[in-house]
Amino acid sequence: MIKKLLIANRSEIAIRIARAATELDIKTVAIYAYQDRFALHRFKADESYEVGHGKEPIKAYLDIDDIIRVALEAKVDAIHPGYGFLSESPEFAQACADHGIIFVGPTVDILTSLGDKVQARRLAKSAGVPMVPATEALPEDPETITKLANEIGFPVMVKASWGGGGRGMRMVFEADKLLGEVAAASREAEAAFGKGDVFLEKLVQNARHVEVQIFGDKSGQVFHLHERDCSVQRRHQKVVEMAPAAWMGSEKRDEITAAAVNLGKTAGYLNAGTVEFLYDVDDDEFYFIEVNPRVQVEHTVTEMITGVDIVKAQIRIADGSKLGTEASGVPAQSEIPMNGHAVQCRITTEDPENGFVPDYGQIVAYRGATGFGIRLDGGTAF
């Protein structure tokens, strides 16, 4: 069914999707904001179109109506949202459905129930998955916010209800800083995802960040592709990811992957997703924190140890293929290998003379890593 695919994203993930689609003999369509007119991703596709003319870049990639306009004009069969931007937007998935376009990702209902982290917690509770204490989406009333924080107990984490990538997250250790951090997190979430809802979660300080890659198909099957350790972070942005978690024993691995699959089956999960957990080192327990109903940046390390092309599998499953078949590219659960170890290091643009804050500028010298076993996914460095 899928002969032509629009990629509703930019940079590295857009290039990654274009490569997978091309290898599947699918024509590709790129979109770009005016400021990205010379970006590499638009030249990697068979066709490219500007969206959100006159808008700043982020808002251009969040312009559902204009993206659908391009999709209809280009006569595409499907849209892959990548990660970030509209990848977890039920409104975008619904707009695709309304116009007869396949959305390469979960259904609208799943995005609504799992894309909203507060609703995802309710679902996890019904599936019997252990969770960190947290609130519902916060109201506007300052007194109620303070009361809720005190009930959980400081320190707390402010988190965006929608989206991911560390946007809209703040650690709060003192009550007098709570309201300011809640407001700042809400503004950041609104700018990044178009939704400013935030909630509070108990901060587990001595923890490892573990996530399980899952896949679901239209027949109701849910598989896991083992786990990743994403504990090395800065400003809540993952910097180093590993697959599998080198410190984890087989018993704990079976426990956490079973919890992820159980949650996926309870949700009726479709396509690729990641179930994220915190492992409390002090009490040797796992706690559910959220589901990312999309492909993640760190999917690459899972691909390296399993041999499964996750982006291709996303497209094939959206096209109706069944897990455990050659057509999907995902073998039977018992046959998914775990070969060796893979480590992903993200290279980011920062200012080392200003506390390593995110920065931008012209690249004046660049040499990519090479050699056996090295994979380089570059989006804008050329």
Catalytic residues: 238
Q: Give me the residue label for tokens 């303070």.
A: 146
Amino acid letter, residue 322: K
Contacts made by residues 133-140, CB under 8 angstroms, sequence distance 24+ = 133/201, 133/202, 134/199, 134/200, 134/201, 134/202, 135/199, 135/200, 135/201, 136/199, 137/161, 137/197, 137/198, 137/199, 138/182, 138/197, 138/198, 138/199, 138/200
Amino acid letter, residue 201: E
Strands in 222-234's sheet, in edge-to-edge order, are: 285-292, 271-280, 207-216, 222-234, 237-243, 342-345
d(CA 62, CA 10): 12
Amino acid letter, residue 297: V
**Do 263 and 130 contact (CB within 8 A), yes or no?**
no
Q: What is the DSSP letter of 236?
A: T
d(CA 120, CA 146): 23
Amino acid letter, residue 242: M
Residue 325 CA to chain centroid, in angstroms? 25
List CB contacts of 49: < 8 A, sequence separation 6 or more. Answer: 29, 30, 31, 32, 70, 73, 74
d(CA 39, CA 10): 8
Cα separation values, 85 from 5, 58, 145, 219, Å: 17, 8, 28, 29
DSSP codes joined into one string, 270-330: -EEEEEEEEEETTTTEEEEEEEE-S--TTHHHHHHHH---HHHHHHHHHTT--TTSTTTT-
